[in-house]
Structure 1
Amino acid sequence: MKKIISLLLVFTFGLSSCEKDDICDPDTPTTPRLVFTFYKINSPSELQNVTDLMVIGEDEKTGIIFNETATDTTKYLANGSTISIPLKTNVNSTTYTFILDSQNDNPAAINTDAIKFNYTHQDVYVSRACGFKTTFTLDPLSTSPPFSVPFVQTDTDGNGLWMQEVFVINPNIENENETHIKVFF
């Protein structure tokens, strides 16, 4: 009888010391990035591939080069006409510089625009294993005080804006499965 009780006690304490595995499934959605899709300005329904597009965040020294024909590790393959970039989770705006044809030997062919994105963000609980993710909402356009715009575009090099038209398609950035920004050039 004592052996049975001891065995039950060992079994009970053994089960109580087990814990669930806290492993976040790699397929669990995390903080989404802002998805851009590029189109031809003269044919708005036709996608336009980017060529040596370098994207540099404010306060960063180097950028990521998106190239539709990447052949080395310093260049990241853009999905033809689509790129994704992160937004900062601890402030309400992020500024990026977009350099078209950044690897061109002819400096006159390189064109630089900057865009500052204004947004609100919210931390959303995912699970104990995965923690939190942040979702974003681009500020809506308002024409009365307090003034608000989803982004501010600047021609930083004086060569004219290469991103001739920029439209917010989906201001709610909750996943990366859809386009948030359409750019025509």
Structure 2
Amino acid sequence: MKKYITVIILAIILIISCEKDDICLENTTPNLVLKFYDAENDTLVKTILIDSLRVINYELLEDYTNTTMDSVSLQLDLNAYKTAYQISSAETSDTIYFSYDRNDVFVSRSCGYKAVFENLTIDSITNNWIKSYNINNTIIDNDTTAHINIYH
């Protein structure tokens, strides 16, 4: 009988001492979302065939090579306060230079910190196929809505 009580007590101690698994289920650092619109009718979403998309001074983003889409989701550099992208369409390229401030926000013990980008601006943009743009939101704290509208 003492043996069973000892086993039960040890089992209870083991169960109580276990920590729950921390799994991060939340989204972490959000991406910058660009949505493409028709330049003549600024309420009409217009798809674009992207020949290539590249981060200036970095790599080509293979997910966006020869792809038709109405929006793109871009990562901003966490180690800098500027990021530049070159978007090519119909064999013409435009380069967009983004500036921003970064604010690190604690999410949870399992997720750690995420970056929230604030004061988003476009320093410069070449106008080959891009006619104009509109910044909808200067704070990037989610990637569910478009932050910038690109008119082409």
Matching residue of 2:131: 164
1:67-82 equivalences in 2 (<5 Å): 80-82=69-71
**Contact kept in structure 1, 2:31 and 2:76, CA below 8 Å:** yes
Residue equivalent to 2:73: 84
Q: Please tell me the residue identity of whatever aligns with 1:175.
A: N
SS, match of residue 51 in structure 1 = strand
Whole-angstrom distance in 2 between the partners of 1:120 and 1:111: 30
Q: Give, in angstroms, the shift of residue 100 of structure 1.
A: 1.2
Q: Secondary structure at the match of 1:98?
A: strand
Deviations, residues 122-157 of structure 1 (Å, cap 9, x unaligned): 111222222221111134xxxxxxxxxx112343xx
Alignment of 1:28-67 (within 5 A): 28-64=26-62, 66=64
Calculate the aligned-residue CA RMSD, in Å: 2.2
Map of 1:105-184 to 2, 5 A cutoff? Answer: 110-139=91-120, 150-155=121-126, 160-184=127-151
Give the TM-score of the pair, scaled to structure 2: 0.86
Residue-by-residue CA offset, 1:60-81 (whole Å, 9 max, x unaligned)? 2423453xxxxxxx65x55x31
The runs of 5 or more residues in structure 1 that have no matched partner are 67-73, 102-109, 140-149
**Deviations, residues 158-180 of structure 1 (Å, cap 9, x unaligned):** xx521110111111111111110
Aligned length: 152
Between the aligned partners of 1:23 and 1:117, the Cα distance in structure 2 is 33
Residue in 1 aligned with 2:86?
A: 97
Shift of 1:49: 0.4
Structure 2 unpaired stretches of 5+: none
